[in-house]
Amino acid sequence: TILVIGACGQIGTELTMKLRDLYGPDNVIAGDIREGNETLMASGPFEQLDATDLKAIEEVVMHYEVDTVYLMAAMLSATAEKFPMRAWNLNMNSLFNVLNLAKEKKIERIFWPSSIAVFGTTTPQNDTPQTTIMEPSTVYGISKQTGERWCEYYFNKYGVDVRSIRYPGLISYKTLPGGGTTDYAVDIYIEALKEQKYECFLSENTALPMMYMDDAIRATLELMQAPAENLTIRSAYNLAGLSFTPKDISKIIKSHIPEFEITYNPDYRQAIADSWPSSIDDSAARKDWNWKTEFDLEKTSKAMLNGLKES
Ligand code: VAH
């Protein structure tokens, strides 16, 4: 069976639902420190689980005969700047817990999300390469860069089959994000429908790598289903989807909601965004497991506005 730790989060919720569609609800255990939305809670087994508690994870793994773990629990960039030590503890100890279970052969395969946050101001900003200078300046970015090093170490030293993707900012409407710097790209659609206006916490020309959630989930499953011998990267794969600025989104939203108005009031998250790339080179993912993006900004905007109207 599969265990999703952090199953109630922005990625975890849609990942768990997709995995349940594919493998059957009873074969996908949702684990989280807090309960999720009613759709998720009604769709299959749930275990209250603290990602930093090795014993608790091991009990769930043994009880449900788990062979694959998706570790989606983490504290994101903006919140991590407010609670550095709590972020480090959660982001790192949860990873060591599942890596060590795999080293002891108690589970067979792991997915762990990295992020474009591993890059810093000294990294080439445009078409950021798979292998390049990485001097992250945020707690979250440091934890993701360190996590990548440990994933590669456990693969090389103990043969642990751990796979990872450097997610860009993710855009979804089913489960709201929490504490991310890229969350403006979700909030803007919600506010556009509710108030026909949005005050953006990043400046208008802040270009960031982004991706619609359906593409991110599909990439995750394609990587996890790829034959191990095809994979040349065991730190984390660059993944490119879209790259746009708040100005780009506001133009598209205006074409759907003409009275929409945007204002800009950059806050502490501007410095975080400025330390990240504007666009990503994902040629390794395209070569190793045939990755290709499906949602462009127009398709993403339509999906967000229609999805929010229906939910
Ligand atoms: C964040 N959404 O903003 C996350 C992500 C690349 C951004 O890591 O922290």
Structure confidence at residue 176 (pLDDT): 84
Q: β-strands 161-167, 46-48: how paired?
A: unpaired
Go through 44-65 and write b for each residue having 16 or more CB atoms within 10 A of its CB, e for each that does not: bbbbebbbbebebbbebbeebe
What ipTM describes this predicted complex?
0.94
DSSP conformational letter for 118: G
pTM: 0.96
Tell me the CA–centroid distance for residue 143 and ligand 1, in Å. Answer: 12
Instruction: Give the CA dihedral 198, 203, 207, 208, nearest 10 degrees.
Output: -70
**Res 223 pLDDT > 90:** yes
- In which band, very low, low, confident or very high, does the pLDDT at 260 lie, cut at 50, 70 and 90? very high
Q: β-strands 242-244, 208-212: how paired?
A: antiparallel
Tell me the CA–centroid distance for residue 106 and ligand 1, in Å. Answer: 30
Pick the residue whose CA is nearest to atom 4 on ligand 1: 180
In the chain, pLDDT over 90 holds for what percent of residues?
A: 97
If DSSP codes are grouped into helix, strand and coil, which group holds residue 161?
strand
For ligand 1, pick from 138, 142, 167 the residue to mutate: most ligand atoms within 8 Å of CB. Answer: 167
Q: Can 140 be counted among the known catalytic residues? A: yes
Q: Which ligand 1 atom lies nearest to the CA of residue 76?
A: 9
Tell me the CA–centroid distance for residue 105 and ligand 1, in Å. Answer: 31
At 5, give phi and psi (nearest 5°): -95, 125
Look at the alpha carbons of 17, 30, 176, 245 in this order and tell me if their dihedral is positive or negative: negative
Ligand 1 binding site (Cβ under 6 Å of any ligand atom)? 76-77, 115-117, 140, 168-169, 177, 180-182
User: In terms of Cα–Cα distance, which of 304, 207, 198 is closest to 256?
Assistant: 304
If DSSP codes are grouped into helix, strand and coil, which group holds residue 214?
helix
- Catalytic site residue from 64, 70, 140, 237: 140
Tell me the CA–centroid distance for residue 179 and ligand 1, in Å. Answer: 8
Pick the residue whose CA is nearest to atom 1 on ligand 1: 180
For ligand 1, pick from 75, 115, 138, 210 the residue to mutate: most ligand atoms within 8 Å of CB. Answer: 115
Q: How many Å apart are CA 105 and CA 66, to the nearest integer?
A: 11
Structure confidence at residue 175 (pLDDT): 85
DSSP string, 61-111: HHHHT--EEEE-----HHHHHHSHHHHHIIIIIHHHHHHHHHHTTS-SEEE
**Using N-to-C axis directions, what is the helix angle for 297-310 and 246-256, rounded to 10°?**
60
**Res 177 pLDDT > 90:** no
* Contact between 164 and 69 (Cβ < 8 Å): no
**Res 98 pLDDT > 90:** yes
Residue 204 is encoded by which pair of tokens? Answer: 């208008």
Number of helices (H), then strands (E), belonging to the chain: the values are 13, 12
Q: Which ligand 1 atom lies nearest to the CA of residue 180?
A: 3
The mean pLDDT value for 178-188 works out to 93
For ligand 1, pick from 11, 140, 212, 269 the residue to mutate: most ligand atoms within 8 Å of CB. Answer: 140
The mean pLDDT value for 275-282 works out to 96
Go through 180-218 and write b for each residue having 16 or more CB atoms within 10 A of its CB, e for each that does not: bbbbbbbebbebbbeeeebebbbeeebbbbbbbbbbbbb
* Contact between 53 and 31 (Cβ < 8 Å): no
pLDDT in tens, 1-20: 999 999 999 999 999 999 99
Tell me the CA–centroid distance for residue 217 and ligand 1, in Å. Answer: 15
Q: Which residues does 291 contact at the CB level (< 8 Å), separation at least 6?
A: 219, 222, 237, 239, 282, 285
Q: How many Å apart are CA 112 and CA 96, to the nearest integer?
A: 11
pLDDT in tens, 229-246: 999 999 999 999 899 999
* Contact between 190 and 308 (Cβ < 8 Å): yes
Mean pLDDT, the chain, rounded, equals 97
